């Protein structure tokens, strides 16, 4: 069974490249991105892990911890990290889970048997401080993840968590957002003092509240 938005993210204990962790304790009151890799020393995932390390400050600004997982063992992970650091000219200092028994991967529905019974698909889970799944994206092995999009989704999720807004098509941080349909027009001035524009009764824009 796949995990769906709103489901509780499974807790687990694991060996990682940054030591043993208990997921819920490690997460604390932060957001998390948990993403999987089919195996170590794979070319596309090598570029992704390097890019993640390069974006360390961007994730820190968003109170977001990064956690990667592969079904290979810890020694293999540690050797792979050396390659990633060399290739990307960075330092991978976030945990990569060793999951050789695939227990964690299966609990997060990362093993798709029709694709492979041994390797994970390339899933990304956005997990909130409440330990709930907020969003997920799954890629095939051939398509590198777009971290501009991952950051954009994270910004949207965090904005929605704080304010009664949604983000429209192609939204980027700093642009107008959509007022929740649950809010009546007469209540908007008190909630969104920057004003609003009504396109239709169900489509009302307001400047991004935290900008």
Question: Would you name the residues annotated as active-site residues?
Answer: 45
Q: Are 64 and 71 in contact (CB under 8 A)?
A: no
The DSSP annotation for 138-171 comes to EE-TTS---HHHHHHHHHHHHHHHHSSEE--TT-
What would the 3-class secondary structure string for 91-109 be? Answer: CCCCCEEECCCCHHHHHCC
Q: Are 131 and 24 in contact (CB under 8 A)?
A: yes
Q: How many helices (H) and strands (E) does the chain have?
A: 7, 11
- Tell me how far apart the alpha carbons of residues 103 and 181 are, in angstroms, rounded to a whole number: 41
If DSSP codes are grouped into helix, strand and coil, which group holds residue 49? Answer: helix
Helix or strand (DSSP H, E) at 52 = helix 43-54
Contacts for 207 with CB less than 8 Å, ≥ 6 apart: 176, 177, 192, 194, 195
Q: Are 99 and 71 in contact (CB under 8 A)?
A: yes
């Amino acid at each position: 069974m796949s995990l769906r938005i709103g489901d509780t993210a499974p807790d687990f204990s694991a060996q990682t490249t940054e030591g043993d962790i208990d997921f819920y304790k490690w997460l604390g009151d932060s957001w998390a991105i948990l993403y999987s890799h089919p195996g170590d020393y794979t070319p596309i995932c090598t570029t992704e892990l390097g890019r993640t390390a390069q974006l360390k400050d961007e994730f820190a600004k968003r109170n977001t911890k990064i956690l990667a997982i592969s079904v290979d063992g810890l020694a293999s992970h540690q050797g792979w990290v050396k390659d990633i650091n060399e290739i990307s000219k960075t330092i991978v200092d976030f945990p990569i889970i060793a999951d050789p028994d695939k227990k964690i991967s299966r609990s997060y529905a990362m093993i798709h048997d029709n694709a492979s019974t041994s390797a994970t698909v390339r899933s990304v889970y956005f997990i909130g401080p409440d330990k709930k799944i907020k969003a997920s994206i799954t890629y095939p092995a051939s398509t590198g993840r777009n971290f501009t999009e991952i950051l954009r989704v994270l910004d949207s999720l965090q904005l929605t968590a704080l304010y009664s807004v949604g983000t429209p098509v192609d939204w980027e941080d700093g642009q107008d957002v959509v007022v929740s349909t649950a809010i009546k027009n007469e209540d908007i001035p008190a909630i969104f003092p920057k004003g609003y524009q009504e396109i239709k009764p169900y489509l009302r824009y307001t400047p991004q509240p935290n900008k």
